[in-house]
Amino acid sequence: MPTKTKTLLIPTPDGQADAFAAFPDRDGQHPGVLLYPDAFGVRPVVEEMARELAGHGYYVLVPNIFYRHGRAPVIELPEHIGAETRPAVFAQVMPMVKAHTSERALLDADAYLRFLTAQPEVSAGPVAAVGYCMGGALAMRTAAAHPGQVAAVAGFHPSPLVTDAPDSPHRDFPEVTAQVHLGLAKGDMSPETLSELNQALDAAGVSHTCEIYPDTVHGFTMSDTAAFSPSALQHHWERLLPLLDRTLTNS
């Protein structure tokens, strides 16, 4: 269906986060989806994915998770992030990633959800948190912190969810009531870590699927990177859309 887009400013305890929103171009209200981008941030490929999702009947909010460092695009990105440009891009991105602590992530998640559910185009009821790369971990943290509000989580080629850190995302799995789908590239985690992840989700009673997408490398959904796989992107839609349909539109 046709969609509309707009840019917005989200009030947060640390200032204002700029954001991109896409939603159906028709009257009425639509289930809300909070979409966390990967570490490369809000950019045309992510905005296009938000529009695609909005075309299926959702209001999609994409915050600039690095707003403390400036408006998106926070750094200048090449049109295509390949092997030659990746080191220079990461040199700029990684300090911002490290500065985005779990404390900041939780403050922001609260602000993002409050803003999302207050939009006039967003219907009452549960929302979803969807994330890519580091956004996958942010989506899981959001669901754990807001179990009564987040009914679905989807993370694709997520950053580590099981670590030795005291604030590792897996330690909060017992708080998650959402249905979860994790779509992994083969190299995203070792078989041992994947087993530990599944055990942690099972022990927490989380309804989940963890799937290794065939013939993929980390970042497979992003068409502006060398990791992109068109078939894996399609596979991601085939997993994401039914999850949202059964948790949001039929709730």
* Residue 41 falls in which region: left (phi positive, over 0), alpha (psi -120 to 50) or beta: left
Q: Is 128 within 8 Å of 177 (Cβ atoms)?
A: no
Element (H, E) at 94: helix 86-99
Query: Nearest Cα to 34, choosing from 104, 98, 117, 100?
Result: 117
Cα–Cα distance list, 89 to 53, 75, 225 (Å): 27, 8, 12
Element (H, E) at 114: helix 102-118
pLDDT of residue 249: 79
Print burial letters for 135-159: b (CB count within 10 Å at least 16), e (below 16): bbbbbbbbbbbbeebbbbbbbbbbb
Q: Which residue has the tokens 């085939």?
A: 238
pLDDT of residue 10: 98
pLDDT of residue 251: 46
Question: What HEC string does 173-231 produce?
Answer: HHHCCCEEEEEECHHHCCHHHHHHHHHHHHHCCCCEEEEECCCCCCCCCCCCECCCCHH
Helix 134-145 vs helix 102-118: crossing angle, to nearest 10: 70
Find all residues with CB under 8 Å of 68, minimum gap 6, and list them.
Answer: 14, 15, 99, 104
pLDDT of residue 250: 59
Beta-bridge partners for 213: none
Ordered structural domains, the chain, with CATH: 3-249 (3.40.50.1820)
Q: What is the pLDDT along the chain (251 residues), one digit of tens a residue?
A: 899 999 999 999 999 999 999 999 999 999 999 999 999 999 999 999 999 999 999 999 999 999 999 999 999 999 999 999 999 999 999 999 999 999 999 999 999 999 999 999 999 999 999 999 999 999 999 999 999 999 999 999 999 999 999 999 999 999 999 999 999 999 999 999 999 999 999 999 999 999 999 999 999 999 999 999 999 999 999 999 999 999 997 54
169/222 Cα distance (integer angstroms)? 23
For the beta sheet containing 127-132, the strands, ordered from the edge strand earlier in sequence to the opposite edge, are 3-12, 15-24, 59-63, 32-36, 127-132, 150-156, 179-184, 208-212
SS3 category, 57:
coil
